[in-house]
Structure 1
């Protein structure tokens, strides 16, 4: 399927699971759905649209021959979230958090270009390329969505952060699914047939995507988005653990160095 169809799968097939999670959380906690306010609705819309844009741009990157460089710059999301969190929510991270963000971002960028002929020098000399511009814009949009989701969740009345996060997730993903469906019906109807043919893998993508989002939203309700995104780089460590222990593949020195930098950044976040 095309870029729009792949983007829709992330949200459309995740929506049923998000609604299920909300039902279970409300059932277990006995909490009531709080009244929505204009701030919540506004932040949900901002977060929903920026995440759609970020996902679309990230998928589009793979159509470029030098997509690795663009992908590396899309991973600057935590660093950009620091700036947006300060501007939009007046949240100032500690010096330790700033250092952790910088170190983890460098580690992920190293991993992103580990299997290419790209050097550290070329990462900076290629700043004017189209793929880098798309990568940076994707990272900015992801950062904006993270900050918006934190603002939306915090705007809900109530003391149970899990309830706040789950309600925010359900509203966001339903909004995204509806927006993408309208777009496909309007401009790319052929994609709907491709999505139907790939419903089995799409269902799995929706499940893991909604589950991951629930964890992200919950974490960002109790901590600054930039810090959560920096800590979330641990996903790369899990990916390499599967690579080494399950698929028996080797990692090169750049990947090893990137993993060490990510671990160092996480340790700084946890200990300081």
Structure 2
């Protein structure tokens, strides 16, 4: 298995654990409060990771470049915007419909990365991405009583916009990592992670101070649980960014669909929930798509 594939799988597993940790926080401090926890409480751990990398490798911080700053800022702001649009879509649509729109991201990433970053994209890789994405759609989409809901202009546009922004965030982060001209893969990816979290933390602190002080105060009150979610978020992001340094954003975001499988396994083993035939078929398609993607790589 290629190193980038192993890195992406570790990131997906860590992100699944982070999502589980944030469930109770969402109920306690609200969606916005729980969302900013991954940035505010993740930043100190990212800085710690950077320090450990510098000690282990003996390298100094790479010199920031205009390309790194521009792409990292793009990725950071796109990720915040995507999260906001996702929440807006969920207010008017079911979770399954929202998920279906969001999981078009790998296809969007593949096409946009090929155009913007000149990441290589073969027809076989694109087909593999399409198969894996179809698997997520099969798992997420239940037969609708009112098919017209899928075509409601507002939710459709916000859902696709959220997927596009999530895709842009992946492209921005890869562009940020590759925009650093000095240093090894590990220190370049970790430096970009710290920069991204700094931008996101500063932006959300200003926003919440002005518009949602209650949620900000609540996240600080429940700092123990927030630290746990922050650590898992930073740990997952460390591997996402390392993956972006190793291969194209399309490869990483496609393999990230394994997170859906991990979530189903957690639901089956930990909560004793049965796996419906439709979801089993979707998981099989995801595994097939990932396998085809790995085979398509040189």
Task: Tell whether the structures are fold-level matches, with TM greater than 0.5.
Answer: yes
1:222 aligns with 2:246: yes
Match of 1:106 among 112, 116, 134: 134
Partner of 1:118: 144
Q: Distance in 2 between matches of 1:25 and 1:61?
A: 39
2:63, 2:182 within 8 Å by CA — same for their partners in 1?
Answer: no
Q: Distance in 1 between matches of 2:94 and 2:293?
A: 32
Where does the alignment leave 5 or more consecutive residues of structure 2 unmatched? 1-28
Which shifted more, 200-209 or 62-71?
Answer: 62-71
- State the SS of the aligned residue for 1:35: coil
- State the SS of the aligned residue for 2:92: coil
Please give the residue correspondences for 1:70-149 in structure 2 after superposition, counting only pairs within 5 Å: 70-113=98-141, 116-118=142-144, 122=147, 126-149=150-173
Q: 1:134 to 1:200 in 2, by over 3 A?
A: farther
Q: Distance in 1 between matches of 2:36 and 2:88?
A: 13
1:7, 1:56 within 8 Å by CA — same for their partners in 2?
Answer: no
Partner of 2:69: 41
Partner of 1:18: 46
Note the aligned Cα RMSD (angstroms): 1.9
Task: Measure how far apart 1:100 and its partner are.
Answer: 1.2
Runs of 4+ in structure 1 off by over 6 angstroms are: none
Task: Measure how far apart 1:38 and its partner are.
Answer: 1.1
Partner of 1:207: 231
Q: 1:63 to 1:215 in 2, by over 3 A?
A: same
1:69 aligns with 2:100: no
Where does the alignment leave 5 or more consecutive residues of structure 1 unmatched? none
Match of 1:169 among 186, 193, 214: 193
Give the total of aligned pairs.
268
Please give the residue correspondences for 1:218-257 in structure 2 after superposition, counting only pairs within 5 Å: 218-257=242-281
- State the SS of the aligned residue for 1:209: helix
Task: Measure how far apart 1:197 and its partner are.
Answer: 3.2
Which shifted more, 260-269 or 1-10?
Answer: 1-10
1:165, 1:218 within 8 Å by CA — same for their partners in 2?
Answer: yes
1:46, 1:148 within 8 Å by CA — same for their partners in 2?
Answer: yes
Task: Measure how far apart 1:183 and its partner are.
Answer: 0.9
Partner of 1:261: 285
Which shifted more, 193-202 or 141-150?
Answer: 193-202
Which shifted more, 97-106 or 233-242?
Answer: 233-242
Q: Distance in 2 between matches of 1:13 and 1:254?
A: 37
1:69, 1:131 within 8 Å by CA — same for their partners in 2?
Answer: no
